[in-house]
Structure 1
């Protein structure tokens, strides 16, 4: 019997994967066989982050590995970032990196669509394995797993951000949590799945583990046949397995958590934790509920880009689509559960679970908690998808068992779906999208009709045909929805003449190669033009710049840019772009931009002089020394608060530049600064600061060198300064950096709100900067302990299995 069941399961998996494979190719036909990459690059498209940010990250990983510059810090990303901000351990992205390493970074673009199809196949398989833990028929599991493979979250977020893999990890996490709870085989894989989830994304791992914890509470409530002590023991066993997985992943989790909580301003809030949680019990605005209703029927009824009609935007609004069957069966579930054969107690538990999901969707509390108790975001809605397909599988078997549906509710659901799709058709301005909406309307009406007709089909021989029709309707619905997510998008064309030609421009490549040969120091390069990609070409073309796009910007650098260099802002506080104001030569020189790449006709500041041309690209060098390191006499220091006020009182970037060049903000008290100024004066440092110092200051800055010592995590330099004062190093002020001056470690001061500063005496000095990610060492030690515990656990399991197979000797 077991062998027969196994054959049936393999047959179901084969059908499932074949269906998903061809569905994936159908959805992404234009991206596989047509003239577009699965990469949305135009700024008119809400998904432009695909090209503007994430693809550039993939290029950067490939470039660093190829160059041997593998380090925990990356100076090619704006002013520099801790690489634990990056998504480095997604196994599907590792395939992207391998393709870039083997065939070249330009082949990454074409590989994206195949990676997305692979994710669809794996998500479907993971969904099937999770469903197989329960007593569902193979037909219902096939229908539900197919729907999960093309679920709304994966289709919307999967091709855009690096979130798609979580739709694979979450059902596997639930699967092995269930197996551990039931003491079934392969439960030892639970810590491993948690580990993989943790190293992939701290953010998503937190949401997934929290969801699993809530799921376990309901499992404890449902196993009434077990004693309370045994239920609690099983609950604790699963929790310990999950904690072990977290322990195994602390080598990535701790450094990543430091970046999120200690470096970026992403988790900052003006209200207290209690105030934020209390806000979670207040109803949301009316638009959010209407948007939620539409998104159950499709993510594509409210448009995508500038004319989006939803509450937030195409990506940030709830991702709850799991075919029209979720809507139909969800309503039916609430109507028929009470007359099912399960006990009254279990019915109450299941109604409680439904009520909890409804509360999470209707009130902001869940969105606040899942987002680290900061602000409400609806990204967490992917956690409901495995339970949605559980519901679909249960209802399918309920119908196949000959149970009656609630006809009035079915008719009402059909009427509502017609109204929603017609409304969406009217709201949509894209002709091709309108056709897809009409198709989904037809599928919904047919689905209602088939389910209605099925109420009078008593003969079991019709069941197979009935299930086949439901599956075909689900295929049509999911494929049209998937097609809608990539229809009328700003996808990059394979023969693109703006984005791709500049990114792989041989003239730019030759100019950068010449700079590396002729100037071996560490400096920054900028472009005076913008073509296709606004701020991140430095990652793909392997040079250091000040332009960047990063949703997790260093909070200190943010303060500097907002107060002292707002001209760098391109599209909000997380987007810095020099080419928006290429006529400004003072600011880039101050920030260490030694060279500018320009095209004919571009404005070039008079503070830079032409040095050489490479085809269409001209190279300009700063007339005065433009170094990442600069010097300020002690008398020119002021508190960071005073520096901020001075900069914000200016009405133009030109006047702010004068402040930047003449004054230095230091994170010290006024008393500490004055004491050091008095000490410097005694040592012969004189530099009276007048009220108009910003207008006439042209003091001696000293001479400096700065080089990378092997990779981006190690810098060495020299400084010759005329008096006591401060060195300003325009590297982000961030934990993990160690500064050694003349062989002695020095305290790094926060300078100019966002950078590094250090006190120096008059004379010649050597210094070095070394970066060690905070909490990495501690995380590695704890991870090693976790892995040792896990290996001992596996060894003990193997030993027990051998004992059980040998049996007990009773002679």
Structure 2
């Protein structure tokens, strides 16, 4: 059989093996009620990612797509989402054709496609080396179902990395042998850069180091030839990065200039903090993760960090044996290069291990590569570098997976082709692996360690047989048995990870009935027909988990709730300083259902309508408009228009100095907090004194038990603001404060938290509980009750009108004002917004920490806020330029090469590495 035929056969076998494995792993997803989304620790799947995909689909279907989306909280730069993943584009296309809800059923098919293509991609990379087909087949199969693909692949776009990285490395390896493949390096770098800034950054680090080591392997790195080759390699990378500027520049701006991910801590301090080691809990988890992704549980996870964000390095028991034995061969100098020769037809052939022994330099490079992988996985500094110098993290372990596959394939090459193996070391390592598997206990899933133990034993037996038997058929049987044992272990581990979970189901369909509630759709359609102004809508209930905050993306309306791990840092400050109850679970979640009674902040944010299942909503300022089935539509009488006009301002420093004694809601009706208000700024402190909080001479009764705290308020007229200090025991993460029909989650961000709650007149009892059991419960102290009033923001909108827009990137309205002042617009203060007043550009002011403001003179004005994504125009121009430059460079190179061939009459064969 020809080499090409052998490769096609191997690829077909690999594809078939992976498809059969996926049918076993995903059988219930393919034929039953299970969907590839999780309602336990994997809630990001249905709570965040699937919502993101649906807002893109909804806007595309409506023809309203823009680079700003008001359906995501106060608004978000769409470059904060993952728009360009090639596999997600399949989902977007299907969603546009068949409806956003159709993507749920397609998730598993797209994921299986990722798995198969990952196996084929790494097979292509391994085919760049002198390795046997059976070695590459087994290594590629393991790679496609490795722990990173299984665990992080559940978050969809993470699985794409295991397809792109081996393709990138394959192009690099081919380019070092045949220079025409540098074009492939450029194009693959461009694809990676367009796919995602965060992950391409990691891949480019790996590619840069790989070029260094491979050039050093084949020749002296710092000689003329080595430096020239390095220049070509890095030049091709830079061209590809330039092609990807259309994504890199806008995404970089979103992360570096707006995102809350960027901390103020100096880089030197971060580097010093990362010097040293993780705690022992990390290394215990890391050790176990080499044996399985699931030995510390999933929902009841007991290891370091959480199930997903612990280091995902499982690569089968075969990898553990291979790593130890292969590195031993390297240290002992037992490895030899392949002997390359030509057959009678002039075709190159090779004999594995038939060449010269590896030189000391080459052995040193292999050991250096192994040490680099250990550094990347096991050291905080490695995690810090690959997480963009933000903080140490373990999402980056995918960068080692292609090299794990190369190591396994090289080890199997020695076993199958050269029958070389240190049996004493092999016996010790195999025994240690089996003992570790026998020691493990997984509650409720005893089959998992038992299956992995049997698989590991089978792997050891097949490796021993491959070395000891001389009959070729028996050797082939040993290779087949080895693949089968590897498949058993990987499929068992993957099946547990995907199936032993709280899985989102097609039926019962309570979640989907609520998410695609016809009553909600009717209510939203009615609002759109009857109100043509720019307004926000919220719900006083959640769909899915208590922290679900992105339902608006599927239901297609503009809320304030959001979930975004790279949330606008200015909005975080607004919520922290002025609306703390909007936070739920962590500072990445804003959830209106956690702050239903905070009517003043809702009015400021122009939450004009509430969708409720409560027929008697008792929050201040809301009146019932209409009922659709079990959905009640309430109108917020405290807000009239999207813009609010103020003639007074206080600085942030003044406010923060007096914040503890100020009636915050009252202040928000009278002034903006702005550091650039000029003559509008109140400097004598009179306004803050006027807005001082008025404490009532009332005492609350507190009853504490080991299960919770009950607060009973005295009878009074009107609403009040209740403030108290809540002291958390060391291990308690949060509590719920339940009052009336609603609750507020209070997180233990620090040892004690200051809590402020608006309590309507009809509520006299609050229950503080925690759904988890702890030896000690939180304690409560320093209770105060303050007078409040019905805060009406509607007067601030007199003469102001903003109409709904076809695209979220343009907000237009009019304002007729009689004094100089600041027009507050509750749009996230972020680079990219331009304010036009009567057609002239004006400075966009930062007001109330997180919103946009515009200074207006007396008179009637046309207002327009226009969003132009920062970096998009420059990125698009840069991508076009580098595409043209790439085409020009490679065209010139091709023409010169063709002329040289014509002149010399021959093509010089590329050197084989």
CA distance in structure 2 between the aligned counterparts of 1:47 and 1:626, rounded to whole angstroms: 40
1:62 corresponds to 2:57: yes
CA distance in structure 2 between the aligned counterparts of 1:448 and 1:516, rounded to whole angstroms: 67
Give 1:203's match in structure 2, choosing from 195, 198, 206.
Answer: 198
2:650 and 2:682 in contact (8 A); partners too: no
For residue 312 of structure 1, what is the aligned residue in structure 2?
Answer: 305
Give 2:291's match in structure 1, choosing from 294, 297, 305.
Answer: 297
2:293 and 2:312 in contact (8 A); partners too: yes
1:528 and 1:604 in contact (8 A); partners too: no
When residues 620 and 227 of structure 1 are mapped into structure 2, their CA distance, relative to the original with a 3 A threshold, is: closer
Q: How does 1:205-224 map to 2 (within 5 A)?
A: 205-224=200-219
Shift of 1:603: 3.6
For residue 843 of structure 2, what is the aligned residue in structure 1?
Answer: 747
Q: How does 1:43-122 map to 2 (within 5 A)?
A: 45-122=40-117
Q: Greater helix percent: which structure?
A: 1
CA distance in structure 2 between the aligned counterparts of 1:48 and 1:277, rounded to whole angstroms: 32
When residues 128 and 698 of structure 1 are mapped into structure 2, their CA distance, relative to the original with a 3 A threshold, is: closer
2:622 and 2:637 in contact (8 A); partners too: yes
1:523 corresponds to 2:522: no
Shift of 1:482: 1.3
1:235 corresponds to 2:193: no
Shift of 1:159: 2.0
1:176 and 1:190 in contact (8 A); partners too: yes
Higher alpha-carbon deviation: 13-22 or 582-591: 582-591
Shift of 1:593: 0.5
- Give SS of 2:645's match: strand
| Deviations, residues 265-292 of structure 1 (Å, cap 9, x unaligned) | 202142x222322333311101111111
CA distance in structure 1 between the aligned counterparts of 2:436 and 2:815, rounded to whole angstroms: 69
Shift of 1:797: 4.7
2:36 and 2:503 in contact (8 A); partners too: yes
1:587 corresponds to 2:604: no
Structure 1 residues without counterparts, runs of 5 or longer = 682-686
- Give SS of 2:154's match: coil
Shift of 1:366: 0.9
Give 2:277's match in structure 1, choosing from 256, 272, 283.
Answer: 283
CA distance in structure 2 between the aligned counterparts of 1:632 and 1:376, rounded to whole angstroms: 44
For residue 715 of structure 2, what is the aligned residue in structure 1?
Answer: none
1:591 and 1:626 in contact (8 A); partners too: no
For residue 416 of structure 2, what is the aligned residue in structure 1?
Answer: 400
CA distance in structure 2 between the aligned counterparts of 1:346 and 1:688, rounded to whole angstroms: 75
CA distance in structure 2 between the aligned counterparts of 1:506 and 1:326, rounded to whole angstroms: 52
When residues 690 and 32 of structure 1 are mapped into structure 2, their CA distance, relative to the original with a 3 A threshold, is: same
Give 1:471's match in structure 2, choosing from 483, 489, 500.
Answer: 483
For residue 812 of structure 2, what is the aligned residue in structure 1?
Answer: 716
CA distance in structure 1 between the aligned counterparts of 2:222 and 2:816, rounded to whole angstroms: 77
CA distance in structure 1 between the aligned counterparts of 2:361 and 2:284, rounded to whole angstroms: 34
CA distance in structure 2 between the aligned counterparts of 1:667 and 1:198, rounded to whole angstroms: 38
1:692 corresponds to 2:687: no
Q: How does 1:462-501 map to 2 (within 5 A)?
A: 462-501=474-513
| Deviations, residues 151-180 of structure 1 (Å, cap 9, x unaligned) | 211111112242111111101111111122
CA distance in structure 2 between the aligned counterparts of 1:704 and 1:298, rounded to whole angstroms: 61
1:6 corresponds to 2:23: no
Shift of 1:801: 5.9
- Give SS of 1:164's match: helix
| Deviations, residues 79-123 of structure 1 (Å, cap 9, x unaligned) | 000001111111100110111111111111000000000000110
1:180 and 1:237 in contact (8 A); partners too: no
For residue 192 of structure 1, what is the aligned residue in structure 2?
Answer: 187
1:255 and 1:776 in contact (8 A); partners too: yes
For residue 512 of structure 1, what is the aligned residue in structure 2?
Answer: 524
Shift of 1:643: 2.9
1:528 and 1:602 in contact (8 A); partners too: no
For residue 364 of structure 2, what is the aligned residue in structure 1?
Answer: 348
CA distance in structure 2 between the aligned counterparts of 1:31 and 1:421, rounded to whole angstroms: 29
CA distance in structure 2 between the aligned counterparts of 1:465 and 1:793, rounded to whole angstroms: 51
For residue 558 of structure 1, what is the aligned residue in structure 2?
Answer: 572
Shift of 1:24: 1.3
CA distance in structure 2 between the aligned counterparts of 1:50 and 1:183, rounded to whole angstroms: 42
- Give SS of 1:662's match: coil
- Give SS of 1:378's match: coil
1:38 and 1:113 in contact (8 A); partners too: yes
CA distance in structure 2 between the aligned counterparts of 1:33 and 1:807, rounded to whole angstroms: 63
CA distance in structure 2 between the aligned counterparts of 1:173 and 1:616, rounded to whole angstroms: 54
1:148 corresponds to 2:148: no
For residue 830 of structure 2, what is the aligned residue in structure 1?
Answer: 734
CA distance in structure 1 between the aligned counterparts of 2:616 and 2:142, rounded to whole angstroms: 52
CA distance in structure 2 between the aligned counterparts of 1:177 and 1:445, rounded to whole angstroms: 37
For residue 152 of structure 2, what is the aligned residue in structure 1?
Answer: 157
| Deviations, residues 645-666 of structure 1 (Å, cap 9, x unaligned) | 444556xxxx432332233110
Higher alpha-carbon deviation: 797-806 or 333-342: 797-806
The root-mean-square deviation of aligned C-alpha atoms, in Å, is 2.2
For residue 336 of structure 1, what is the aligned residue in structure 2?
Answer: 329
1:704 corresponds to 2:698: no
Give 1:424's match in structure 2, choosing from 410, 431, 440.
Answer: 440
CA distance in structure 2 between the aligned counterparts of 1:420 and 1:705, rounded to whole angstroms: 69
- Give SS of 2:321's match: helix
Q: How does 1:542-557 map to 2 (within 5 A)?
A: 542-557=556-571
- Give SS of 1:758's match: strand
1:627 corresponds to 2:641: yes
- Give SS of 1:594's match: strand
Structure 2 residues without counterparts, runs of 5 or longer = 337-357, 694-787, 907-913
1:524 and 1:593 in contact (8 A); partners too: yes
When residues 112 and 161 of structure 1 are mapped into structure 2, their CA distance, relative to the original with a 3 A threshold, is: closer
| Deviations, residues 56-75 of structure 1 (Å, cap 9, x unaligned) | 01110110011111111000
CA distance in structure 2 between the aligned counterparts of 1:297 and 1:613, rounded to whole angstroms: 56
CA distance in structure 2 between the aligned counterparts of 1:632 and 1:159, rounded to whole angstroms: 48
1:251 and 1:776 in contact (8 A); partners too: yes
Shift of 1:26: 1.2
For residue 722 of structure 2, what is the aligned residue in structure 1?
Answer: none
1:549 and 1:575 in contact (8 A); partners too: yes
Shift of 1:676: 4.0
| Deviations, residues 658-689 of structure 1 (Å, cap 9, x unaligned) | 33223311033xxx63x34599x9xxxxx977
CA distance in structure 1 between the aligned counterparts of 2:626 and 2:470, rounded to whole angstroms: 84
- Give SS of 2:395's match: helix
Give 2:256's match in structure 1, choosing from 261, 274, 278.
Answer: 261
For residue 36 of structure 1, what is the aligned residue in structure 2?
Answer: 34
- Give SS of 2:71's match: coil
Higher alpha-carbon deviation: 381-390 or 736-745: 736-745
2:651 and 2:675 in contact (8 A); partners too: yes
For residue 684 of structure 1, what is the aligned residue in structure 2?
Answer: none
When residues 473 and 616 of structure 1 are mapped into structure 2, their CA distance, relative to the original with a 3 A threshold, is: same
| Deviations, residues 357-386 of structure 1 (Å, cap 9, x unaligned) | 223333211111111112000111110000
CA distance in structure 1 between the aligned counterparts of 2:510 and 2:77, rounded to whole angstroms: 30
Shift of 1:450: 2.4
Q: TM-score, normalised by structure 1?
A: 0.93
Q: TM-score, normalised by structure 2?
A: 0.83
Q: Greater strand percent: which structure?
A: 2
- Give SS of 1:573's match: strand
For residue 669 of structure 2, what is the aligned residue in structure 1?
Answer: 661
For residue 788 of structure 1, what is the aligned residue in structure 2?
Answer: 884
CA distance in structure 1 between the aligned counterparts of 2:593 and 2:448, rounded to whole angstroms: 40
CA distance in structure 2 between the aligned counterparts of 1:15 and 1:86, rounded to whole angstroms: 37
| Deviations, residues 19-62 of structure 1 (Å, cap 9, x unaligned) | 1111112111111111110111x2xx111000000000111011
1:549 and 1:576 in contact (8 A); partners too: yes
For residue 390 of structure 2, what is the aligned residue in structure 1?
Answer: 374
| Deviations, residues 163-214 of structure 1 (Å, cap 9, x unaligned) | 1111111011111111222225543111111111111110100000001111
- Give SS of 2:468's match: coil
